[in-house]
Structure 1
Amino acid sequence: MKKIFLVGYYGHNNLGDEMLFESMLEMFKEIKFEGKIYVISDKTKIEKEYKFKVFTIDKYDFPKIINTIKDIDLMIYGGGNLLQSETSLKSFLYYDFLFSIAKHYKKNILFVSQGFGHFKHKYALKRLKKILKYKRLFGILRDETSYRYAKRYSGNFELGTDIGVIKYKNIIFKKDPQKMHISIIIKNRRNWAKILYILEQINVKRITPIVLNKSQDSIIAYEFFEKYKDEINISFPVSEENKILYEILKSEFVISDRLHGGILSLYLGVPVIMYKNQKNYRVFKTINNEYNLFFKDEEDLIGAISKIYDFKFNNMQEKFVNNLNETHEKTVNLIKTFL
Structure 2
Amino acid sequence: MSYRKSYCLFGYFGFKNFGDDLMLVNALNHLDLIKRNNTYIVFVAEDYYSEQKAFTSFKNIKVKYIRLTPLINYICIYYYAFISREAFWIGGTSLYESSAANLDGIVWLNKVINKFQLFGKNFSFCNIGIGDFTSEKGLNLYKQIVNKSKRFSCRDHVSLMKLKNFFPEKPNVFEGGDLACLLESSFFNRDPKSIVFCGHFQYQDDESVVETYSAILNDICKGKEKVLFMPMHQGTQSDNQFHNKVSQKLTTPFEIINYSDDLFKYMSQAKIVISMRLHGLVLADILGIPNIGISYHDKVSIYIKSTNTLVEYRNKKVKENISIETIQKVISNYKKPTEFLNQEKNKAIKGMKVFEV
Q: Is the 8 A contact 1:142 1:283 kept in 2?
A: no
**TM-score normalized by structure 1?**
0.82
Q: Secondary structure at the match of 1:146?
A: helix
- Where does residue 66 of structure 2 map in the other structure? 56
Distance verdict in 2 for CA 1:286–1:119, change over 3 Å: farther
Conserved 8 A contact 1:15-1:241: no
Closer/same/farther in 2, CA of residues 268 and 131 from structure 1, 3 Å limit: same
Match of residue 220 from structure 1: 242
Distance (whole Å) between structure 2 residues aligned to residue 98 and residue 8 of structure 1: 12
- Is contact 1:258–1:280 with CA below 8 Å preserved after alignment? yes
Shift of residue 145, structure 1, vs aligned partner:
1.2
Q: Is the 8 A contact 2:195 2:227 kept in 1?
A: yes
In the superposition, relative to structure 1, how do residues 105 and 329 fare at CA in structure 2: closer, same or farther (>3 Å)? same
Deviation at 1:202?
4.5
Taking the TM superposition and a 5 Å limit, the aligned residue runs for 1:257-296 are 257-270=276-289, 271-285=291-305, 291=311, 293-296=314-317
Q: Distance in 2 between matches of 1:59 and 1:25?
A: 23
- Alpha-carbon displacement from aligned partner over 1:200-233 (angstroms, at most 9, x marks no partner): 44556332111122222233323333x135x222
Question: Deviation at 1:110?
Answer: 2.6
Query: 1:27 and 1:125, CA in 2 relative to 1: closer, same or farther beyond 3 A?
Result: same
Amino acid in structure 1 at the alignment position of 2:246: F
Are the aligned partners of 2:155 and 2:178 in contact in 1 as well (CA < 8 Å)?
Answer: yes
Could you tell me whether the CA contact under 8 Å between 1:174 and 1:249 is conserved in 2? yes
Residue number in structure 1 paired with 2:191: 176
Instruction: Write the distance in 2 (CA, Å) between the matches of 1:182 and 1:170.
Output: 20
Q: How does 1:24-103 map to 2 (within 5 A)?
A: 24-41=27-44, 42-46=46-50, 47=53, 48-50=56-58, 51-60=61-70, 61=72, 62-86=74-98, 88-103=102-117
How far 1:146 moved relative to its partner?
A: 0.6
Q: Is the 8 A contact 2:19 2:180 kept in 1?
A: yes
Q: Is the 8 A contact 2:47 2:65 kept in 1?
A: no
Cα drift, residue 94 of structure 1: 1.2
Structure 2, unaligned stretches of length 5 or more?
Answer: none
Partners of 2:273 and 2:284 within 8 A in 1 = yes
CA distance in structure 2 between the partners assigned to 1:84 and 1:303 by the alignment: 38
- How far apart are the structure 2 equivalents of 1:297 and 1:117? 21
One-letter amino acid of the counterpart of residue 7, structure 2: I
Which amino acid in 2 is paired with 1:142?
A: R
State the one-letter code of the partner of 2:150.
Answer: L
CA displacement 1:261-308 (0-9 Å, x = unmatched):
221112112223133314434555556599464444212656994796
| Aligned residue-pair number | 329
CA shift at 1:185, angstroms? 0.7
Match of 2:127 among 100, 113, 128: 113
SS at match of 1:97: helix
**CA distance, structure 2, for counterparts of residue 298 and residue 49 of structure 1:** 43
**Sequence identity percentage:** 18
> Offset at 1:322?
0.9
Q: Among 338, 341, 346, which residue is 1:321 paired with?
A: 341
Q: Which deviates the most, 151-160 or 300-309?
A: 300-309
| Amino acid corresponding to residue 94 of structure 2 in structure 1 | L
Q: What's the secondary structure of 2:15's corresponding residue?
A: coil
What are the within-5 Å matches in structure 2 for residues 125-144 of structure 1?
Answer: 125-134=139-148, 137-144=150-157
Partner of 1:309, secondary structure, is helix
* Secondary structure of the structure 2 residue equivalent to 1:245: helix
The aligned counterpart of 2:164 is: 151
Sort the Cα spacing of 1:89 and 1:300 in 2 relative to 1 into closer, same or farther, 3 A.
farther
Deviation at 1:27, TM superposition (A): 1.9
Residue 133 of structure 1: how far off its partner (Å): 3.4
| SS in structure 1 of the partner of residue 256 of structure 2 | coil
| Structure 2 CA distance for partners of 1:289 and 1:183, relative to 1, 3 Å | closer
In structure 2, C-alpha distance between the alignment counterparts of 1:304 and 1:139, rounded to whole Å: 45
RMSD between superposed Cα atoms in Å = 3.2
Please report how far the alpha carbon of residue 139 of structure 1 lies from its aligned counterpart in structure 2 after TM superposition.
2.5
C-alpha contact 2:220 2:323 (8 A) present in aligned 1: no
Question: Could you say if the C-alpha distance between residues 71 and 253 of structure 1 is closer, same or farther in structure 2, counting changes exceeding 3 Å?
Answer: same
Output the CA distance in 1 between the equivalents of 2:276 and 2:135: 24
